Amino acid sequence: MLHTRPLHPGFGIEVVGLDLSDPASDAAVDQLVKELDRHSLILVRGQTLSNARHVGISRRFGDLMTHVLKQFLTTGLPEIYVLSNVTEDGKPIGNHKEGWNWHSDLSYVAEPSMGSLLYAVEVPPVGADTLFASMHLAYEALPPEVQASIRHLSATHSYAGYYGKAFADREPLSDEQKARTPDVVHPLVRTHPVTGRLSLYVGQDIIKSVNGLPPEEGNALLDKLNRHAISEEFVYRHKWRQGDLIIWDNRCTMHCATPYEDTKYRRIMHRTTVAGTRPF
């Protein structure tokens, strides 16, 4: 039986007293898979995970995806995407300043990620918090007339557009990377495939347009929904400790990294990404 406590009144739990480094915990991991559908976000602190164990745990949630930015798959296991400001031999070991906007992982592919498992290898003593927002709570708090007006709208997600905004100071995407990430269309309101619960499916920078609306009207709607989605009452702020593992459901949450003194402190985070299905 899992021992848990809430992280936020509306979503998220912390599981206490669980050592995931031990393969004997696999039965507990399978319980975490079920709890994720109910709670959207799970924290397990104090872990000592090898890269192989991190990947092994992640596979119990489903098939794993590999990131399009192959230069940051530096652990020897391509399933692990490294987020870091650290350089070795003059090269970055991970992507720095990734996710400093509100988003859901890999919303820019036809079948976006179901979930992500982010493990804190090394964290600054201050800063670098991650904010998580419940898109279930955000949708359910909208007035009924707004829910009805957006229920069947769709939007175009563009990785090329996001990359150009977020990493304008970097080398542009290669032709191969562009080919792997063409623009895709997803609903503005998606249905959780397990629970049937509805949630907003929005994000900053990643959505290029709302289909069927004039650009000005569509952009105004996106701005309104994005601002609503990250209202304080829907958000949990996580202050990282080394050894934290957070598992979140990309089908019903958004998240956003926050800055830190990156010239003073090191940060190394390992993320695995669980494959999902087409939103509906």
Euclidean distance between CA atoms 4 and 14, whole angstroms: 5
Same domain for 63 and 191, yes or no, is no
Q: Looking at the domain assignment, is residue 97 inside a domain?
A: yes
Same domain for 250 and 223, yes or no, is no
Q: Looking at the domain assignment, is residue 279 inside a domain?
A: no
Name the residue with higher pLDDT: 47 or 181.
47
Same domain for 190 and 246, yes or no, is no
Same domain for 141 and 193, yes or no, is yes
Of 189, 212, 215, nearest to 200 by C-alpha is: 189
- Of 194, 212, 230, the residue that ends a domain is 230
pLDDT of residue 110: 96
Q: Give the mean pLDDT of 76-87.
A: 97
Q: 162 pLDDT band (50/70/90 cuts)?
A: confident
Residue 73, amino acid = L
**What is residue 151's three-state secondary structure?**
coil
Residue with tokens 């070991």: 93
Give 84-125 pLDDT, tens digit per residue: 999 999 999 999 988 889 999 999 999 999 999 999 999 999
**What is residue 147's three-state secondary structure?**
helix
Contact 7, 130 (CB under 8 A): no
Q: Looking at the domain assignment, is residue 98 inside a domain?
A: yes
Domain count, the chain: 2
Q: 169 pLDDT band (50/70/90 cuts)?
A: confident
Same domain for 199 and 146, yes or no, is yes
pLDDT of residue 161: 77
Contact 229, 202 (CB under 8 A): yes
Q: Work out the mean pLDDT of the chain and round it to a whole number.
A: 95
Looking at residue 138, which CATH number applies to its domain? Answer: 3.60.130.10
pLDDT of residue 160: 84
Same domain for 175 and 107, yes or no, is no
Q: Looking at the domain assignment, is residue 249 inside a domain?
A: yes
Question: Which residue range(s) make up the domain with 59?
Answer: 4-124+238-274
Instruction: Write the DSSP symbol of residue 206.
Output: T
Q: 13 pLDDT band (50/70/90 cuts)?
A: very high
